[in-house]
Amino acid sequence: MTANLSAQPLAWLVHFYTASGAVLAFAATLAAFEGRFRGAFLCLVAATVVDASDGMLARYVGIPHATPRFDGARLDDIVDYLTFVFVPMVILYRAGNLPEGWGFWVAAAVLLSSGYGFASLDAKTSDYFFTGFPSYWNIVALYLHAAGTPDLFNAVLLLALVVMVFVRIGYVYPSRTPVLRGLTNLLGVLWAAMMLAVVWLLPSVPRVVLVVSLFFPVYYTGLSFWLHAKRPQSMPR
């Protein structure tokens, strides 16, 4: 299909919008090195908003047909790796939430495993699942930092999730998995509002807020495991 010349300016604006997530990742890294961890997480929140909305904009303007020689999906993966994987590990490391002496190797395990996860051909399946733990390290990092859990606990949890990257279980793609999508998105919006409050309340987040906010991760994990168990054996796994 030939490129739609009239749509190209809008398409490039969408690509620029996607790439702005990398700028937010850089700003978050600077904030983490300066000890401004709330600011760092706020940058990651903004990056998540970009990631949640750029796909809708891309479909509206007709990407990839408007820019056939530019791979927006590859750009999106690069930015996602920075904001969902790399920066969260920088924050945990700089904030002292990883064990002294060997916390570097925990972060390295996360970075390496997620490199595999992003590059796997079955990372996203035709029936709208993520395969393996879908690199929600920004969420994990926020919970661990806000809760102030012990360094050893943090390391064990992160390494357990590293293992789950390689276990080919399907996890719900919230905006696309059709089963209970309306309920999932509704609960997701409520949870997102709570997580924004958690970021705003840093560094002193009431424990009850964190505990109550776990309703969505528990729902999401339970739904993912249930749907995975029901998937036909012939479906991609």
pLDDT digits (tens, 9 = 90+) for 156-212: 999 999 999 999 999 999 988 999 999 999 999 999 999 999 999 999 999 999 999
pLDDT digits (tens, 9 = 90+) for 26-59: 999 999 999 999 999 999 999 999 998 888 888 8
For residue 226, which phi and psi values (nearest 5 degrees)? -65, -45
Place of tokens 């990372």: 123
DSSP 21: H
What is the dihedral sign for C-alpha 203, 134, 59, 186? negative
How far apart are the C-alpha atoms of 132 and 120, rounded to whole Å? 10
Give the list of residues 6+ apart from residue 15 with CB closer than 8 angstroms, or none.
63, 67, 70, 72, 75
How far apart are the C-alpha atoms of 2 and 140, rounded to whole Å? 43
pTM (predicted TM-score): 0.92
What residue spans of 127-214 are helical by DSSP H?
137-147, 151-166, 181-201, 207-213
CA 12 to chain centre: 24
Q: Does the structure show a pLDDT above 90 at 23?
A: yes
pLDDT score, position 218 = 98
pLDDT digits (tens, 9 = 90+) for 196-217: 999 999 999 999 999 999 999 9
Q: Which of 113, 195, 109 is nearest to 155 (CA)?
A: 109
pLDDT digits (tens, 9 = 90+) for 62-114: 777 778 888 888 999 999 999 999 999 999 999 999 999 999 999 999 999 99
What is the dihedral sign for C-alpha 61, 63, 65, 70? positive
> Residues 61, 10: contact at Cβ < 8 Å?
yes
Structure tokens of 211? Answer: 């505990």
How far apart are the C-alpha atoms of 132 and 194, rounded to whole Å? 26
> Residues 202, 38: contact at Cβ < 8 Å?
yes
> Residues 71, 77: contact at Cβ < 8 Å?
no
Q: Where are the domains of the chain?
A: 1-81
Q: Which of 38, 29, 130 is nearest to 88 (CA)?
A: 29
Q: How many CB atoms lie within 10 A of CB 176?
A: 12
